[in-house]
Structure 1
């Protein structure tokens, strides 16, 4: 993937040199042309096109922002409610992620979302212990983490 990005930047600089016009717009046009060229050549050169991962990365960012806004609204409702009707709890969330940085990214995203906090990892690193400020259903909370953050991280890394 890194080679494809560097190749795409190289094509953009080549475009600038051939046009003999050194502007940001010409660089972006050259980058777009390189992007299209790599997309077309992906079948001939038998490599995975990096645009899919870039798209998945932006989807992960948008998902995180969406979940962040929803969690903030939930915490605001809890804080502004006249009586404290919460059920806090700690749940062991198993994960299918393989590498340490994927698991760390998941734990960080959980901790940055208001109302949840990653507390610890299991010995093998395949389970994250998460504290929830309010938990209705344990299985639903685990499913929510798997279907949102973990799935999005797997799309970016695999």
Structure 2
């Protein structure tokens, strides 16, 4: 499976950079190999995808949430009279590993309208800034039933 991951990460690099040249291919291979080495070293286990379907579901959930968030931010920008209530949410974590917490924090930050501000020193809560905090409990439920649950399923 490491070869499959190397190829997949290289293809992602080529797609993101939109440059399909031989030097860029080698750069992508080098970056993919470095990422795989770091992840393997950091997790202390060989790199492998144990649950490829669950990881694909996580990526799909992220893509859907990304599109919904982009739409909500566009609406807020185009209609300045829209009632938004920015604020800070303290989110209790079920995740335990640094990798899982970092992944959740990054997914939240990459979603427009939200930003992971901090992780508490005991790694039990995330501090999140949201564009719309009218219903913080609903936001917490969305994160818990979306990103966090899918991360737990994919990376137990």
- Give your verdict on TM over 0.5: yes
Partner of residue 66, structure 1: 64
Partner of residue 92, structure 2: 94
Partner of residue 112, structure 2: 114
Supply the distance in 2 between the matched residues of 1:72 and 1:99 (Cα, whole angstroms).
29
Matches within 5 A, 1:2-151: 5=1, 53-151=51-149
Note if contact 2:84-2:134 (Cα within 8 Å) is conserved in structure 1.
no
Distance 1:123 1:131, change over 3 A: same
Supply the distance in 1 between the matched residues of 2:100 and 2:49 (Cα, whole angstroms).
20
Q: TM-score, normalised by structure 2?
A: 0.67
Supply the distance in 1 between the matched residues of 2:117 and 2:151 (Cα, whole angstroms).
20
Supply the distance in 2 between the matched residues of 1:84 and 1:147 (Cα, whole angstroms).
27
Deviation at residue 84 of structure 1 after TM alignment = 4.9
Supply the distance in 2 between the matched residues of 1:126 and 1:92 (Cα, whole angstroms).
10
Deviation at residue 85 of structure 1 after TM alignment = 2.2
SS at match of 2:108: helix
Question: RMSD over aligned Cα, in angstroms?
Answer: 1.8
Unaligned stretches of 5+ residues in structure 1: 9-49
SS at match of 2:51: helix
The aligned length equals: 112
Unaligned stretches of 5+ residues in structure 2: 5-47
Deviation at residue 77 of structure 1 after TM alignment = 0.6
